Amino acid sequence: MADKDTFYITTPIYYPSGRLTIGNAYTTIAADTMARYKRSQGFDTFFLTGTDEHGLKIEQKAEAQGIKPKEFVDKMADSYKKLWKSLNISYDKFIRTTDEEHVKAVQKIFEKLLKKGDIYLGEYTGWYSVEDEEYFTESQLAEVYKDDNGNVIGGKAPSGHEVRLVKEPSYFFKMSKYADRLVEYYKEHPDFILPHSREKEMLNNFIKPGLEDLSVTRTTVNWGIPVPSDPKHVVYVWIDALSNYITALGYGSDNDALFKKYWPADVHLVGKEIVRFHTIYWPIMLMALDLPLPKHIIGHGWVLMKNGKMSKSKGNAVYPESLTSRYGVDPLRYYLMRALPFGADGIFTPEDFVERINYDLANDLGNLLNRTVSMINQYQNGQVAPVPVAQDKFGKELQDTAASVIADYREYMDSLHFSQALDSIWKLVARANKYIDETTPWVLNKEGKIEELSHVMSNLAESLRLIAVMIEPVMTETAPKMFEQLGLNWNDEDERKLAFNDFGWNTKVVEKPTPIFPRLKAEEEIKYIKDEMAKAKPKKTTRSEQKKTDEITIDDFDKVKIQVGQILSVEPVKGSSKLLMFKLDFGDGKERQILSGIRKFYPDASELLDKKVLAVTNLKPRKMLGHLSEGMLLSSEKDGEIKLALVEDEHANGAELG
């Protein structure tokens, strides 16, 4: 027996810093849909997903919870696996960048590129966003903070997150060496990046302005893969993360059989926000390793809300579990695969989601199945005869529609145009519903036209069989349920042949059909979804609420040093709408600087000069917008108004509270 053709598809590996939304779920469901489709077409398919587990943000998240980074990512990876299981994701491997085989392979890759001269030691200076895990040049910042002398002291990344200046030794990857070769590869492989608009973005925004060499290690981050030849460095995100697509197959190990079998990948499916890393950094890495490039990198759009991108802070985040727990997994999978046209953004609204269930699933598909099975029981004692070879006018039109839909379906699925594929399937759903109205089975029964009635029932059953087969990659639970009600066995390959009249029937449908998609009460369900979205928004708390803690002991209180300080000067911090910079005298002959976010409560800050305040003075100093803050001023809050805690002159500078 000849070996099957192979098909290798991947999702990006997700950064496990928080809960996944339906936007994240879209990517994985899309990849799963393609993997299931390819398996149904006889391909030896390998489907990879996983988690990208290193980096500063993970370190900070773990520290905030009082646990080790590994414990944190273990917990998050388990939650992601649980989510994928609930969404019927049929991945073949879940890779974690903390996996021992991945760590070893990344170290081998790094040392190979170092030995080759494509990686060299230098010094990195740049603006780093912890939230984005990304470095930016000054020109790339969306907002720049400057001091009185015009020097840049901070800013915001395009995402809106704050950046900080990082200066440290770093190994660099010679991106520039391969830039021309990459452009040539784009020209020779016009479908390498899809949709084609993404290629233009890469060329115009990143390659033509000049590719800079890429910083690929850090000395200021501990949670990462150590460089074997220089262990004070850890491998920075992109070599570590992107390598997963080959290390998951055994590249760099003693057992690389899967790599030899499946590489190069057929499809890397990624969100449009990370297309740059997958279409510039990754291909260049592969060129440097003398490995073939993936066949297609597809950058899909985003699931947007009416008010823009999904965000917890906006209160518009939608989590998969809140929908699947109430409506089942298939309505969500169907909605996401139909709502986003290939490469474009789609807008989620509770109204549209409920409408899709009621009209597409309950009315169109569910009602067609229910009516058909009911009529077969009523008119033919539940028996479905073979589909007639000779068809009348309406039967021929139904058959022709099925043939056309199947051809379109295959074309769309092969190119990952899932929305169009579902549109085409629903043409057959609509045509079958129309066929009932055209043939009027109840009239045929009344008139005793038994043979004609049998033909109609068989044609309807056959149409539903084909619909079930085509929707299965998307609607994994619905298709077997449809087969069961039609008296078919989903595990029988002969019954899943995708051509009209390719199955012999002579089967008996279930006696009592069950609606597969009960109709929803629109208002009630829209309210439910909106309420679930609102739960995602972090609750605003007052300062006094924030400070509520469990009871402390006198020993805890003794750790806090609160002193009286006299305000020598106060001025707004350039580049900030919140911060005031105070210089204070605490009676020790030294001037202490403290920053406080109370600017809006003191529009004329000069009124505070010479006032005496209370401050915590044994806090660890920290930098805020490039300025050192050596303590915390005490204040009170009521009804949203904040006032500094002032004391009278009888309290000497430096006096301790207690």
pLDDT in tens, 42-97: 999 999 999 999 998 898 889 889 999 999 999 999 999 999 999 999 999 999 99
Q: How far apart are CA 259 and CA 247, in angstroms?
A: 8
**What's the token pair of residue 462?**
């056959």
Task: Kindly provide the b/e burial profile for residues 12-45, where b requires at least 16 CB atoms within 10 angstroms of the residue's own CB.
Answer: bbbbbbebbbbbbbbbbbbbbbbbbbbbbbebeb
Q: What is the pLDDT of residue 339?
A: 83
Neighbours of 622 (CB within 10 A): 11
Q: How does residue 311 score in pLDDT terms, banded at 50, 70 and 90?
A: low
d(CA 332, CA 318): 11
Cβ atoms of 132 and 156 within 8 Å: the answer is no
pLDDT tier at 552 (50, 70, 90 boundaries)?
A: low
Q: Which of 530, 420, 418, 510 is nearest to 464 (CA)?
A: 510
pLDDT at 1: 43
Q: In Å, how far from its chain's centre is CA 390?
A: 50
Q: Is the pLDDT of residue 611 over 70?
A: yes
Average pLDDT over residues 153-178: 90
Least confident span in 65-74, 206-215, 340-349, 617-626: 617-626
Query: Mean pLDDT across the stretch 129-149?
Result: 81
Domain boundaries, the chain: 4-111+190-299, 118-172, 346-506, 552-655
Q: What is the mean pLDDT of residues 458-470?
A: 98
Q: Residue 74 contacts by C-beta under 8 Å, 6 or more apart in sequence?
A: none
What pLDDT digit, counting tens, does each position of 53-66 carry? 999 889 888 988 99
Question: Which range among 128-132, 184-188, 467-471, 490-494 shows the weakest confidence by mean pLDDT?
Answer: 128-132
Q: Considering only the top CATH level, what class is 552-655?
A: mainly beta
> Distance between terminal CA atoms of the chain?
86
pTM above 0.85, yes or no: no
Choose among 224, 213, 147: nearest CA to 571.
Answer: 147
Pair 465, 486: CB distance under 8 Å: yes
pLDDT score at 551: 62
Least confident of 471-480, 518-527, 606-615: 606-615
CA 499, 501, 505: angle at the middle one, nearest 5?
120
Return the CATH number of 4-111+190-299, one of 3.60.70.12, 2.40.30.40, 3.40.50.620, 1.25.40.10: 3.40.50.620
| Omega of the bond leading into 169 within 30 degrees of 0 (cis) | no
**How far, in Å, CA of 298 to CA of 309, rounded?**
20
Considering only CA atoms, give the Rg of the chain.
31
Residue 542: the pLDDT is 46
Give one word for 198, left, alpha or beta, with left for phi > 0 and alpha for psi -120 to 50.
alpha
Is 50 exceeded by the pLDDT of residue 546?
no
**Chain-centroid distance, C-alpha 378:** 48
Report the distance separating Cα 80 and Cα 72, nearest Å.
13
Q: How far is CA 144 from the centre of its chain?
A: 29
Q: For position 220, what pLDDT does the model report?
A: 84
- Class of domain 346-506 as given by CATH: mainly alpha
Confidence tier at 543 by pLDDT (50, 70, 90): very low
Whether 48 and 237 have beta carbons less than 8 Å apart is answered as: no
One-letter amino acid for residue 597 of the chain: G
Q: Please say whether the beta carbons of 309 and 51 come within 8 A.
A: no
Nearest to 347 by CA among 316, 325, 370, 321: 316
- The pLDDT assigned to 545 comes to 43
Q: What angle do CA 565, 570, 571 make, to 5 degrees?
A: 155
The structure tokens listed for 575 are: 């580049």
C-alpha span between 191 and 296 (Å, rounded):
7
Per-position DSSP letters for 571-607, written without gaps between them:
EEPTT-SS-EEEEEE-SSS-EEEEEES-GGG-SSGGG
- 464, 368 Cβ separation under 8 angstroms: yes
Which two structure tokens, joined as six digits, stand for 68? 């080790």
Tens-place pLDDT, residues 23-32? 999 999 999 9
Residue 113 identity (one-letter amino acid) = L
φ, ψ for residue 44, nearest 5 deg? -80, 100
Task: Let me know: does 173 contact 213? Beta carbons within 8 Å.
Answer: yes
Query: For the domain bounded by 118-172, which CATH number is listed?
Result: 2.20.28
Q: Is the pLDDT of residue 550 over 80?
A: no
Could you tell me where the beta strands, DSSP code E, fall in 81-213?
Answer: 93-96, 119-129, 134-136, 143-146, 152-156, 162-173, 193-194
pLDDT tens digit sequence for 339-387: 888 888 989 999 999 999 999 999 999 999 999 999 999 999 999 999 9
What's the mean per-residue pLDDT of the chain? 92
CB 25 within 8 A of CB 49: no
* H or E element that contains 346: strand 346-347
How much is the average pLDDT of 169-186? 96
Taking CA atoms, 245 is separated from 47, 104, 317, in Å, by 10, 14, 29
Distances (CA, A) of 471 to 52, 395, 482, 492: 32, 22, 11, 17
Range ranked top by mean pLDDT from 131-140, 141-150, 612-621? 612-621
Min mean pLDDT across 144-153, 438-447, 581-590 is at 144-153
Over residues 112-131, the pLDDT tens digits come to 999 999 999 998 888 888 77
Q: 258-275, pLDDT tens digit by residue?
A: 999 999 999 999 999 999
Contacts 24+ apart (CB under 8 A), 103-107: 103/225, 104/252, 104/253, 105/243, 105/246, 105/247, 105/251, 105/252, 105/253, 106/225, 106/235, 106/239, 106/240, 106/243, 106/247, 106/252, 107/225, 107/226, 107/227, 107/228, 107/235
